[in-house]
Amino acid sequence: MPTKDFQDANRNLYDDKRNHPEGRPRRGSMFDYKHYEVQSVQLNFGPQHPAAHGVLRLIMELDGEIIMRLDPHIGLLHRGTEKLIEYKTYTQQALPYFDRLDYCSMMCNEQCYSLAVEKLLGITVPPRAKYIRTLFAELTRIMNHLMNVATHVLDCGAITPLFWLFEEREKMFEIYERVSGARMHSAYIRPGGVAVDIPIGLLDDIYEIVLKLPERLNEVSDLLDTNPIWIQRTKDVGLVSAEDAIDLGFSGVMLRGSGVQWDLRKTQPYDAYADMDFDVPVGVKGDCYDR
């Protein structure tokens, strides 16, 4: 049973005769509420998040969907690879670690490591091995870009390109498996060359895959360029000028997206890239769409 004091307080709470200092009746509250304008919201992205492909923590300050400030905590990505391979041999034991540094660019990691070992030991790589390395480095790079675009589009709300692009990616995984016996962590590119030569008939199959890939990419491009939601979330978003990109130490696609024509395959060619003729595409505005 409520006490008399509680009943009196409750009676006064809803008594419209007790007017607000500004003349308005009280609306069922003993307190004068003030209106506050929310300027921004802080949100933790990670370190474990379903949309993050890796362990990373980002403290984001948001104004709606606009990221006003970002505080990255990258220490969670440290794996201690250098320490792990201090007592490993160059080929059989240390090489597999580099497949796992970036599981989207497996053979490119192997290639970087092999180039470093060859430079230290003065090893000369046979021309055929250089061309095989370059071929599989480009296949790996295509696989990486396919996954990047597919998952980015999925996070923006479109699911169809994910299935289309992962189908093409699966074909390239089969190429990986045929040449090395493993779908992802192949340990194929090694100091001095490659593990084994290309099987008979594999080059013809690679040619067929690459020949049909532009048609699939055009289908994805047509689907996205007519999607107003994807356009709204990529065009004029995350603008980075060429000067800022250089000052911030951007590289790769991020740097080229800001209009800087810088590609190590052109400026500092390695393996067989010096014999290759290709264009380096660059962005115009430096926004998410260009990248």
Q: Where exactly are the structural domains of the chain?
A: 18-78, 80-229, 238-291
pLDDT tens for each residue of the chain, 291 residues long = 545 554 454 444 444 444 445 555 455 555 555 666 667 788 888 777 776 666 788 888 988 878 888 898 887 777 788 888 888 888 778 888 888 888 888 899 999 999 999 999 999 999 999 999 999 999 999 999 999 899 888 888 888 889 999 999 999 999 999 999 988 888 899 999 999 999 999 999 999 999 999 999 999 999 888 888 888 888 888 899 999 999 999 998 899 999 999 999 999 999 999 999 989 999 989 998 888
Q: Which fold has domain 80-229?
A: Cytochrome-c3 Hydrogenase; chain B (1.10.645)
pTM exceeds 0.85? no
CA dihedral of residues 171, 173, 178, 183 (deg, nearest 10): -150
Residue-level pLDDT at 14:
43
Query: Residue 136 forms beta bridges with which residues?
Result: none
Helix, strand, coil percent values for the chain (each to nearest 5): 50, 10, 45
Q: How far is CA 154 from CA 15, 60, 132, 207, 265, in A?
A: 55, 21, 33, 29, 30
Residue 110 burial (10 A CB sphere; 0-12, 13-18, 19+): buried
C-alpha count within 13 angstroms, C-beta hemisphere, residue 77: 13
DSSP 204-229: HHHHHHHHHHHHHHHHHHHHHHT-HH
Strands 57-63 and 193-194: what pairing? unpaired
Strands 41-45 and 57-63: what pairing? antiparallel
Residue-level pLDDT at 6:
43
Q: How far apart are CA 288 and CA 258, in angstroms?
A: 10
Q: How many helices (H) and strands (E) does the chain have?
A: 11, 5
Residue-level pLDDT at 34:
62
Q: How far apart are CA 100 and CA 109, in angstroms?
A: 8
Long-range contacts of 99-103 (CB under 8 A, 24+ apart): 99/184, 99/185, 99/186, 99/187, 100/185, 103/184, 103/185
